[in-house]
Structure 1
């Protein structure tokens, strides 16, 4: 994505992220860049995190579509690398549990 395209997208996304009930699923990044790396999608992830916060962002693998370009382990590893460790609990589990009303059954 060009820097102009990224900025236009970020500006439009700000309208959604201003709404507290809207959440962001971090998913499907390989659909537009089949050779994506953590570095190539870093601006997208950074924008989402800065606008929504870790408490309104959740990981999504987009499998089986992502399997055309990456293994599940590669996808998870890239996200783990991109996200600060302090965000992992929220992005990988807490946000989706809250959003989808999933309760732990002990």
Structure 2
């Protein structure tokens, strides 16, 4: 877990250990929500995403946006996916901590709505496949939370 001011350092770390898989937690913590803060986050995230050995967990967005709406979450989620692509991005809930600001269903349903235009295979990668591959989960695990 790093904050936007640390994303460049994280990129240096990932470059120094190219054979190590890294997973950036909580979207790189877009905590500063003013336009300049979000631009620093976007720039830092794009730089870190240049490292092929870094994936991103799109999780606990409501920690940095207590008065969140679907429209306030959408650009964060889409920027993460745009930077890391369909093979290095995955959804996570960060429950029970995220429950301070949203229910599990609200978070999960937001991810479903934001990704509704993606293909079934792309959704499967974001909701299950990438995490199963990156974290080396049992191949017998079931993607039971895929959108219907």
Q: Using structure 1 for the length normalisation, give the TM-score.
A: 0.91
Structure number with the bigger relative contact order (C-alpha 8 A, sep ≥ 6) is 1
How many Å separate the matches in 1 of 2:87 and 2:137?
A: 15
Which TM-score applies when normalising by structure 2?
0.67
1:11 and 1:81 map into 2 onto residues whose CA distance is: 25
Distance 1:53 1:16 in 2: 13
- In terms of fraction of residues, the more helix-rich structure is 1
Output aligned runs, 1:8-87, within 5 Å. 8-83=40-115, 84-86=117-119, 87=122
3-state DSSP class of the match of 2:54? coil
Alignment counterpart, residue 126 of structure 2, candidates 78, 83, 91: 91
The two structures, once aligned, show a CA RMSD in angstroms of 1.5
Q: Which consecutive unaligned segments of at least 5 residues does structure 2 have?
A: 1-32, 142-148
Rg larger in structure: 2
Q: How many residues are aligned here?
A: 106
What are the superposed Cα offsets for residues 33-66 of structure 1, whole Å, 9 maximum, x if unpaired? 1121221011111111111012111111010011
CA distance in structure 1 between the partners assigned to 2:45 and 2:62 by the alignment: 19
Structure 1 residue ranges (4+ consecutive) displaced by more than 3 angstroms after TM superposition: none
Gaps of at least 5 residues in structure 1 are none
